[in-house]
């Protein structure tokens, strides 16, 4: 009698055990798959973040000068070691278009070399695909290697290659170097003017040019201030909520300050 009562209980117990084992196996499989799903999502997220790193190119001034958006403000960058034809020269417009096609609206890396006397950052632009914009301009015949300011052997090699292949501006019989073009526009009376800057651009900042020989400029020493002023009575100086100080232009450039767009224009 006892045996007959025990048999149904054993059958019920075996079914319960089987169900519990099945549930345990199913739960274990789900746990083993979850880490794989997390790992596969990781790289995609990193790629999305990487695509937005660097500085966005917001303007192309000419072939060798661009503006980047840095900390919400435009930063003008003069490309190191290269010199593109001026806008009134042959290939001037094409050089600007070439730079625009490669860089405008894209996020790029900036390798800073210096800050020139006009407050421009001088450096190299690394494109999203890893190419060097400075190199690409020379390689494709849209710029000279600017040997007066650069001894870069790679730029020298790229220019020799472009000349030999008659790429871009080198297809002409005797292209005029942009620094010679700028000097010819100035005339004999201004031989000491910087040949790195077009006369029209230089005329746009005469006060800064006049101070380049050790003159004083005015700065606001607030934490967020990144400019310098050539006029102590500039209304923007009056808005300074911290100490106003007088320093040399060289010091201001060393601090990577840019000219005030009100009093230095």
The residue written with tokens 């500085």 in the block is 55
**Choosing from 38, 48, 67, 78, which is the catalytic residue?**
78
Residue 6's φ and ψ, nearest 5 degrees, are -75, -30
User: Is 86 annotated as catalytic?
Assistant: yes
**Choosing from 96, 120, 182, 257, which is the catalytic residue?**
120
- Per DSSP, the three-state class of 133 is helix
Q: What is the DSSP letter of 228?
A: E
Q: Which two tokens stand for residue 160?
A: 């020799």
The DSSP bridge partners found for residue 149 are: none
E strand map for the chain: 55-62, 65-70, 73-79, 82-83, 107-115, 121-126, 144-145, 216-220, 227-228, 244-248, 258-259
User: Is 78 annotated as catalytic?
Assistant: yes
**Choosing from 86, 136, 159, 202, which is the catalytic residue?**
86
Residue 235 falls in which region: left (phi positive, over 0), alpha (psi -120 to 50) or beta? alpha
Kind and range of the H or E element at 72? Answer: none
Q: Which two tokens stand for residue 237?
A: 């100086």
What is the separation of C-alpha 84 from the centre of its chain, rounded to a whole number of angstroms? 18
d(CA 13, CA 41): 43
Is residue 145 within 8 A of residue 82, CB to CB? The reply is yes
User: Is 120 annotated as catalytic?
Assistant: yes
d(CA 52, CA 125): 16
Catalytic positions, written as ranges: 78, 86, 120
């Amino acid at each position: 009698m006892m045996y007959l009562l025990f048999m149904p209980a054993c059958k019920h117990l075996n079914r319960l055990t089987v169900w519990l084992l099945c549930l345990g196996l199913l739960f274990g499989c789900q746990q083993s798959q979850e880490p794989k799903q997390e790992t596969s999502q990781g790289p995609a997220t990193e790629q999305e973040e990487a695509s937005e790193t660097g500085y966005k190119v917001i303007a192309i001034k000419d072939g060798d000068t661009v503006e980047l958006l840095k900390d919400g403000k435009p930063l003008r960058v003069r490309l190191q070691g290269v010199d593109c034809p001026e806008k009134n020269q042959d290939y001037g417009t094409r050089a600007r278009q070439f730079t625009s096609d490669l860089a405008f609206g894209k996020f790029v890396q900036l390798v800073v070399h210096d800050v020139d006397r006009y407050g421009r950052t001088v450096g190299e632009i690394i494109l999203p695909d890893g190419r060097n914009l400075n190199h690409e301009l020379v390689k494709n015949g849209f710029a000279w290697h600017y040997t007066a300011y650069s001894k870069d052997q790679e730029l020298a090699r790229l220019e020799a290659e472009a000349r030999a292949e008659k790429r871009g501006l080198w297809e002409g019989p005797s292209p005029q170097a942009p620094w010679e073009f700028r000097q010819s526009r100035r005339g004999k009376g201004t031989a000491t003017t910087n040949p790195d800057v077009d006369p029209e651009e230089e005329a746009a900042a005469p006060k800064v040019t006049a101070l380049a020989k050790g003159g004083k400029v005015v700065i606001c020493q607030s934490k967020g201030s990144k400019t310098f002023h050539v006029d102590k009575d500039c209304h923007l100086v009056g808005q300074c909520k911290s100490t106003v100080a007088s320093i040399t232009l060289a010091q201001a450039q060393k601090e990577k300050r840019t000219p005030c767009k009100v009093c230095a224009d």
